[in-house]
Structure 1
Amino acid sequence: MKLSTTTRAAALSTGLAATLALAACGAANETSGGSGAAGSAGAGAEQLSGDLVGAGASSQQAAMQAWQAGFNSQQPGVSFSYDPVGSGGGREQFIAGGTDFAGSDAALDDEELAAAQERCGGGEVFELANYVSGIAVVYNLEGVDELNLAPATVAGIFAGQITTWNDPAIAADNPGVTLPDLAVTPVHRADDSGTTTNFTDYLSQAAPEVWTSEPDGEWPLPGGEAANGTSGVISAVQAGNGAIGYADESQAGALGVAKIGVGSEFVAPSPEAAAAVVANSERVAGRGEYDFAVEVNRTTTSADEYPIVLVSYHIGCVEYDDQAKADAVKAFMGYVVSEEGQTAAADAAGSSPITADAREQAQTAIDAITVAS
């Protein structure tokens, strides 16, 4: 993954931004039964107060609403706000000291990490992959209800090298399927997008001989059709027979969803397969004890894993200079990674709940959050 890429999401509507800015919550960390991860605070939890301010990825917007609502019901004394300015803006604001934590569809690069450590008083930084969502390759092709695409075929389509649906490469992935002699219309994001960052990272890793561009939040090639936001991509694919695009799996609706070649099989996106590939990916080398940034294994050969995923982080300090701030961050992150919090996000946003092992791993960082001595 190209960790230096910054991603910026489309602006939210005024109404949604206002919803996200409603006062919310905090919660004390408790161990949930059987998982070893933090559960939501019960009625007897210590009541916290003060402000908790975050900013960053809009990919988390629906999940953040769910986390905020659940958390607010338990800790109404903490005034919570999250500004969905985009991943790059979230990282910048956190590093500048303007927020208590950031949401980001990319982990900190080395330069950002050094700056974040300085912002945290020279202490450690946590990066927790708390939001995972499968990216579906969606298509609109009359008469074709099921479609298999090998990594090189996906790359060839979006690189503009495969231009008709009956191309031999697509035919080889779909033996026995009648494919029309129809132009392929690839649709990509027009805006700087974390979804694009993760999608192009997949293409560059899984099919480097075809996709030679670096991963980037901005679409790197000419051609195709551009659309703003996930909704724009979905609308563009819906509007044209022969169109194909990439979007959050939860937004696919009635469009066809391709199965992607993984090893010797073709795998459809699912919450379980998306969470599994992240859980089985290696941590970025050379980082701190509580930094769980990962290099997603886009070249997995396990049919239990789906490699085209968006991984969005929460980034913060292990030590804060204020006890109330440390308590609020600790409580909020505990709720987010709890089974209850992950289920709430999945229900609201269609995301993939992180695995029990990932919750337990994240909890080690959350337990370490404290006030600087």
Structure 2
Amino acid sequence: MSTSLYTRLVSAATAGALVLPLAGCGGVALPGLGAGEEPSVDPEAFVVGSFRGAGASSQESAMKAWISGFQEQHPDAVIEYDAVGSGDGRENFLAGKSAFGASDVALSDEEMAQSGPACDGGNAIDLPVYISPIAVAFNLEGVDRLNLSSDLIARIFTGKITRWDDPAIVAANPEAKLPGLTITPVHRSDDSGTTENFGDYLHATAPDSWPHEPDGLWPLPEGFAADGTSGVTDTVRSTPGGITYADASATADLGRVAIKVGEEYVPYSAEAAAAVVDVSPRIENRYEHDLAFVLDRKIDKPFAYPMVLVSYLVVCSRYEDRAKGKFVKEFVEYVASAEGQERAATAAGSAVISPDLQAWISDAAEAIYLTQERPDGQVDGQADDQAVGQAQDDPRGAA
């Protein structure tokens, strides 16, 4: 483990004249210490320890960027992220196996009700930190883009349309050279938030062709399946005629679909995905600081791309383990910061969340309640920099 920033500052402060900056050189002078005085460095300002998160594979590229940037500021924080999928991520978090979860869908009311034991008697909250389009990606030699409506996409993934030269696809793409090749749809085998968002979009916009209610598990028994985002995209890369759905950041070197929005075909972009979130309402009657959205899948404006996922950090309102709680507070602040969002956008092509969302998430992080042991051995609590929020008194505070 690297020497902590706290240790380096203490060592520098106690080394006396040996570390004083030379006259005329840049640097920050440390305060002088009298005999026996401790350096005025607050250990609460630093995050130390090993921490684990688990969840959405859609966030994997962004998470690597966030962890790297956070560890630059907190070199004694060791962070492991398991991209096990949204469903397993929520399950691990609710079982108390991880400091935070990551999910492409918000916790259900039932999952919220189960969060008390993992959250020291408090509750879980959803914080939207990652907004990204879902791309429908395919492998056709010489074809980089296709126009498809949600009805055509649904019929392809249900097996009603089986060839790339089907008249309905040709009619929507008169200039494309479509081969007489069998279509091979590939779906996720794991419990996936991307699957649930994809199904939600199809069910909202093409209910006759996709009658299945949104769910993290693929609703049909047939078809090719692969585990995780990388599993489905790698399968399509090796399968001529293959097609899948995935976080857009993982679909490089594949052809991509422009989806029909209103009367126009709209290619995916981070900006068009973010536009959907901007016009979507929050879920009502959630815990205070929960920021879950009901996405407007039926928007018909060409500036929007409604096949979008909003991926959440799932954290607790209370932490009994102060080190874990301190880490979560600081990590959430970093992920939602301008620097954190720009790192994710560069690494994953995601949309930068709005300043309003950044501020709301910062408020939620500040309100996280850390339990501490009092000198008399009793358990007390402390909400860093802020009194305990309304959620402790009224757990079903209005959104």
> How would you bin the TM-score normalised by the shorter chain?
0.7 to 0.9
Equivalent residue, structure 1, for 2:251: 252
Query: Which piece of structure 1 moves more, 121-130 or 320-329?
Result: 320-329
Task: Answer yes or no: is the 8 Å Cα contact 1:23–1:79 preserved in 2.
Answer: no
Task: Answer yes or no: is the 8 Å Cα contact 1:86–1:104 preserved in 2.
Answer: yes
Equivalent residue, structure 1, for 2:215: 216
TM-score, structure 2 length as denominator?
0.75
CA distance 1:272–1:217, change in 2 (3 Å): same
Tell whether 2:63 aligns with 1:64.
yes
Equivalent residue, structure 2, for 1:346: 345
Tell whether 2:373 aligns with 1:371.
no
Equivalent residue, structure 2, for 1:33: none
5+ residue gaps, structure 1:
1-21, 27-43
Equivalent residue, structure 1, for 2:193: 194
Equivalent residue, structure 2, for 1:7: none
1:97-246 counterparts in 2 under 5 A?
A: 97-175=96-174, 177=176, 179-246=178-245
Cα RMSD after superposing both structures: 2.8
1:265-284 counterparts in 2 under 5 A?
A: 265-284=264-283
CA distance 1:322–1:185, change in 2 (3 Å): closer
What are the Cα deviations for residues 250-306 of structure 1, in whole angstroms up to 9, with x where unaligned? 222222111001112111111111222233322222212211112222222122221
Output the CA distance in 2 between the equivalents of 1:154 and 1:301.
17
Equivalent residue, structure 2, for 1:17: none
- SS of the residue aligned with 2:73? coil
- SS of the residue aligned with 2:244? strand
Query: Which piece of structure 1 moves more, 284-293 or 229-238?
Result: 229-238
Output the CA distance in 1 between the equivalents of 2:235 and 2:92.
33
Equivalent residue, structure 2, for 1:15: none
Amino acid at match of 2:258: K
What are the Cα deviations for residues 79-129 of structure 1, in whole angstroms up to 9, with x where unaligned? 433344433333233223333321222221111101114543443432111
CA distance 1:353–1:236, change in 2 (3 Å): same
Output the CA distance in 1 between the equivalents of 2:190 and 2:321.
38
CA distance 1:344–1:174, change in 2 (3 Å): same
Count, aligned residues: 335
Equivalent residue, structure 2, for 1:29: none
Task: Answer yes or no: is the 8 Å Cα contact 1:189–1:196 preserved in 2.
Answer: yes
- SS of the residue aligned with 2:326? helix
Task: Answer yes or no: is the 8 Å Cα contact 1:25–1:332 preserved in 2.
Answer: no
What are the Cα deviations for residues 173-196 of structure 1, in whole angstroms up to 9, with x where unaligned? 234555444433222233433322
1:88-103 counterparts in 2 under 5 A?
A: 88-103=87-102
Tell whether 2:309 aligns with 1:310.
yes
Task: Answer yes or no: is the 8 Å Cα contact 1:184–1:244 preserved in 2.
Answer: yes
- SS of the residue aligned with 1:131? strand
Task: Answer yes or no: is the 8 Å Cα contact 1:54–1:103 preserved in 2.
Answer: yes
Task: Answer yes or no: is the 8 Å Cα contact 1:25–1:71 preserved in 2.
Answer: no
Q: CA deviation at 1:335?
A: 0.2
Task: Answer yes or no: is the 8 Å Cα contact 2:112–2:123 preserved in 1.
Answer: no
Task: Answer yes or no: is the 8 Å Cα contact 1:188–1:233 preserved in 2.
Answer: yes
Amino acid at match of 1:57: A
Q: CA deviation at 1:354?
A: 2.0
CA distance 1:175–1:81, change in 2 (3 Å): closer
Output the CA distance in 1 between the equivalents of 2:326 and 2:214.
37
CA distance 1:370–1:153, change in 2 (3 Å): same
TM-score, structure 1 length as denominator?
0.80
Say which structure, 1 or 2, has more relative contact order (CA 8 Å, 6+ apart): 1
What are the Cα deviations for residues 228-259 of structure 1, in whole angstroms up to 9, with x where unaligned? 43334334333444332222212222221110
Taking only the aligned residue pairs, the percentage that are identical comes to: 50
CA distance 1:115–1:335, change in 2 (3 Å): same
- SS of the residue aligned with 1:200? helix
Output the CA distance in 1 between the equivalents of 2:95 and 2:192.
22
5+ residue gaps, structure 2:
6-40, 372-380, 382-399
Amino acid at match of 2:213: E
Equivalent residue, structure 2, for 1:16: none
What are the Cα deviations for residues 141-176 of structure 1, in whole angstroms up to 9, with x where unaligned? 345443111111111111111223333432342345
* Higher radius of gyration, 1 or 2: 2
Output the CA distance in 2 between the equivalents of 1:293 and 1:327.
23
Query: Which piece of structure 1 moves more, 327-336 or 60-69?
Result: 60-69
CA distance 1:238–1:195, change in 2 (3 Å): same
- SS of the residue aligned with 2:102? strand
